[in-house]
A and B are shown apart, each in its own frame.
Chain A
Amino acid sequence: MSFLFKNLSLLDPRWKEARGGYEVLTEGDVIKEVSAKPIKSKTAKVIDCGRRTVMPGLIDCHVHTHHSEVYINRMEAVPLTLMMARSAGRLKRMLDRGFTTVRDAGGADWGTRTAVESGLIPGPRLFISCRSIGPTGGHNDRNRRTDVGPPCLCCNGMVFIRCIADGPDEVRKAAREQMRQGADQVKLMVSGGVASPYDPLESVQFSIEEITAAVEEAHAFGRYVLTHAYTPEAITRAVNCGVRTIEHGNLVDAPTARLMAKKGVYMIPNLVTYDAMKRRAKELGMPDSMLEKNDEVLKYGFSELEHCRTAGVKMAYGSDLLGALEDEQTGEFRIRGEVMPAIDVIRSATLIGAEVVRQEGKLGVIEPGAFADMLVVDGDPLKDLGLFQDGGPNLTAILKAGKFHKNAL
């Protein structure tokens, strides 16, 4: 199947503005030709975009497909069947919002990815981490204090999305296990977190030897490590051990940002989740102990963006929204747009996202040889990032791998 997109304004994120007069030809699942002159094709179906903007599909580098409860402990009462039925809707809605690729930062397994790839359920391309890995008592350890440990790792949604490892050998084995299960990257918890009740935010989780073991093993298998980290200490340890991306990173300071820039480490902020939790998580069951930690990290959101921009750290787009808060996935555009130029925010959700998932030239761009993941936007997002809001009504067409998920043209 081949489509010829005409009469459009092309937003190539490498430029600073959308440019008229271009045409784009897709063939199968890839982009075949992009030209400022009319493209000739006898077989392609012509799509008249009515002067709307054509841009690459969006990339969200920090989602949790299976975290369908805001107060995450409630996943204990969700069997995997019900969890997956919920996730089917969550994945479809991500695609409805224009996200044609997401990186799952813990939880999604190869079964979920296979379900999407084989067309059983509509959803974005998934780059999966399988279970996130953390130490006993850390952000990843969701046992109640009264629990000695779960009987198995698949009886409910809570135990399915995470695992515990202690000591370099166990961490190495846990990383191997995730990669055996099809992980595209390996997720480590190296500091305290918001949605876990017992670990202090500023706690430093995993020893240097443990982080190093995971990094070594991920490299050995051709994968990389992403790390949950909030404080300069946790970020510094992780970066010095060779991790490739820092997740959240709210409390980063100027020296730590410079270290990240020097080592070429990416930051994936997700300011929207703290903002959304502040407003809505209490009514959705999140306890005060977590909300207090949320207030703490929320304070540092804008300074994080500032430190990273000043130091030259590349930032990708993340959201990290739990449960019903998922509907704010594009809210990150609004928040970052308050302090950054629109083109920079769009680059974070296209070009930089593609770098993070190691798909430069294949995702996040409109160029020959790239996957045909494209959006037709009713307006110019560079002038109004609000066009991405509200679940996708301003996205006239959504194309993933050369197939229309939506086509209102």
Chain B
Amino acid sequence: MSQILFKNLSLLDPRWDEARGGHEVLVEGDTIREVSAKPIKSAKAQVVDCGRRTLMPGLIDCHVHVFLTEVNIRNLEHVPLTLLTAKSAELMRGMIDRGFTTVRDTGGADWGIKTAVESGLIPGPRLFISGKAIGPTGGHSDSRRRTDYQAAPCGCCNAMVYVMAVADGADEVRKCVREQMRQGADQIKIMCSGGVASPYDPLDSLQFSEAEIAAATDEAKNFGRYVLAHAYTPEAITRAMTNGVRTIEHGNLIDDKSARLIKSKGGYMVANLVTYFSMKERAAQFGMTADMLAKNDVVLEGALRSLEICKKAGVKVGYGTDLLGALQVDQSQEFIHRAKVLKPIEIIRQATTVGAEILRQDGKLGTIAPGALADLIVVDGNPLKNLKLFLDQGAHLPVIMKGGKFHKNALK
């Protein structure tokens, strides 16, 4: 098996509080074989001299949508799946170029695109997929216009219907969850409150009954999967958590009490501040409508506070972005937004070790340790001192490796 030896580097293991010099890392095949503070001997390894740069785990984004290629989601109605795939290929290349070697797709990506990346047909990060996002009639994942009375003729004629599902009643929800898992979902996405990018549902609406949520979490658990829930308000978060949901997405309007509930249940929050800031700044030019932008203002106001509330309650927060279409170039800006209230090491942990926990890949992803998958990046400087090194579409990342293979190597 081929070996690659990284030398002359400063190792940023997110379990530490600082980067440490003098370490070497040996990769064999797709995994990390050895990490040592002493020189590693290997006769056959290809040596990469990192020139004293920082080596750290590849980044993990726990909330992306590789198939939401349009900022005004309604425009997905005009995108056939062939064009969707081509657009998505470009979005995923951008993600791995920025150092994200793993992403959790929270609604849309299917087993076809996951297979395409895994088999090397298109470059992109590891994908943990949810299949279609599931919500109730009239909720955040109901893709119909008000003038559409019936459901779409089929679930695959355009991108809009391909990424969302509607289910009503505990039995239908259970069946819909089973269907996503049959289609290869790694986790299940449900909508438990109103959302920004849907025009008709109030932000503070409670979506799905408790019995419906419980049916979803029961079925996911039976199959060895878990449920993530789109939820903004304390009420929605509370209903989700008491009915077995494992991770709360967005959660901007969380309060102390609902944060303590997440903590007591061992749940996670996946925040994504950047999407609200970027939408406020630029979504109108991409066709997002005024009613959606008004909802955006409401949740934007709570964004930074939600991080402080979670920190106080001891809730672990994953790194998320949730950016739509052309706004995805802002993916790494989440580091900068969070730095207004968190320390760099805290944010880096959110994008590595906490992300790995959320994906239930502790020890395999988000870490530089023997036995972990060889997903790593080399940074031109120390990100603990300068988070802006993650910006500029990967310009400051001379090496990006996924599964032991170089996506990029400018140190040759």
| A binding-site residues for B, Cβ under 8 Å | 78-89, 109-112, 114-115, 120-121, 151-155
Contact = CB atoms under 8 A, between A and B. Distances in A.
A154 B157 contact: yes
A84 B87 CA distance: 11
A152 B115 CA distance: 23
A85 B80 contact: no
10 contacts: A81-B88, A86-B116, A88-B122, A89-B121, A109-B80, A111-B80, A112-B86, A120-B90, A154-B156, A155-B156
B89 A78 contact: no
B82 A112 contact: yes
Nearest to B156: A154
Interface stretch (B106-114, B258-266, B282-290, B372-380): B106-114
A121 B82 contact: no
Task: Pick the most buried of B80, B86, B110: most chain A CB atoms within 10 A of its CB.
Answer: B86
Contacts of B116: 81-82, 85-86
Nearest to B152: A152
Contact of A85 (B79, B85, B154): B85
Contacts of B88: 81
Interface string B63-90: 0000000000000000111111111111
Nearest to A154: B156
B154 A79 contact: no
Contacts of B89: 85, 88, 120-121
Contacts of B79: 111
A112 B87 CA distance: 11
Contacts of B113: 81-82, 85
B153 interface: yes
**A82, A87, A151 — which one has the most chain B CB atoms within 10 A of its CB?**
A82
Contact of B154 (A81, A110, A152): A152
Interface residues of B, number: 25
Given A88-B122, A120-B89, A82 B156 contact: no
Q: Which 10 A-B pairs have the closest CB atoms?
A: A85-B116, A81-B112, A115-B86, A111-B83, A82-B112, A152-B154, A111-B82, A84-B85, A111-B80, A79-B112
Contacts of A85: 85, 89, 112-113, 115-116, 121-122
A86 to B, nearest CB: 6
B156 A80 contact: yes
A114 B87 CA distance: 10
A121 B81 contact: no
Nearest to B113: A81
A55 B156 CA distance: 43
Contacts of B156: 80, 152, 154-155
Given A112-B82, A112-B83, A78 B121 contact: no
Given A151-B154, A152-B156, A155-B154, A84 B82 contact: yes
Interface in B133-183: 153-157
Contacts of A155: 154-156
Nearest to A116: B86
Nearest to B183: A79
Contacts of B81: 80-81, 84, 111, 154
B154 A154 contact: yes
A86 B87 CA distance: 14
A82 B82 CA distance: 9
B121 A111 contact: no
Q: Which of A78, A88, A109 gathers most chain B CB within 10 Å? A: A88
A121 B90 CA distance: 9
Contact of B85 (A80, A89, A153): A80
A81 B111 CA distance: 9
Nearest to B122: A85
Contact of A84 (B86, B111, B155, B157): B86
Contacts of A80: 81-82, 85, 112, 156
A155 B154 CA distance: 8
A132 to B, nearest CB: 16
Which of B81, B82, B90, B110 is the most central at the interface, judged by chain A CB atoms within 10 Å of its CB?
B82
Nearest to A80: B81
Contacts of A110: 80, 83
Interface in B108-131: 110-113, 115-116, 121-122
A277 B34 CA distance: 48
Given A82-B115, A85-B113, A88-B86, 20 more contacts: A78-B112, A79-B112, A81-B81, A81-B110, A82-B112, A82-B113, A83-B82, A84-B81, A84-B82, A86-B116, A86-B121, A109-B80, A110-B83, A111-B86, A115-B86, A120-B90, A152-B153, A153-B157, A154-B154, A155-B155
B83 A115 contact: yes
Contact of A152 (B84, B122, B157): B157
B308 to A, nearest CB: 40
B374 to A, nearest CB: 24
Contact of B84 (A78, A81, A89, A121): A81
B82 A109 contact: yes
A88 B84 contact: no
A78 B112 CA distance: 7
Nearest to B78: A111
Between A80, A83, A84, A110, the greatest number of chain B beta carbons within 10 A of the residue's beta carbon is seen for: A84
Contacts of A86: 116, 121
A114 to B, nearest CB: 5
B291 to A, nearest CB: 29
B8 to A, nearest CB: 34
A368 B353 CA distance: 61
A85 B84 CA distance: 10
A87 B82 CA distance: 9
B67 to A, nearest CB: 8
A368 to B, nearest CB: 33
Contacts of B153: 152
Nearest to B90: A120
Given A151-B154, A154-B156, A155-B156, A79 B110 contact: yes
A355 to B, nearest CB: 28
A110 B79 CA distance: 10
Contacts of B157: 152-154
Nearest to A91: B86
A121 B86 contact: yes
B155 to A, nearest CB: 8
A197 to B, nearest CB: 26
Contacts of A153: 154, 157
A371 B81 CA distance: 30
A88 B83 contact: no
B345 to A, nearest CB: 37
Contact of A114 (B83, B121, B122, B155): B83
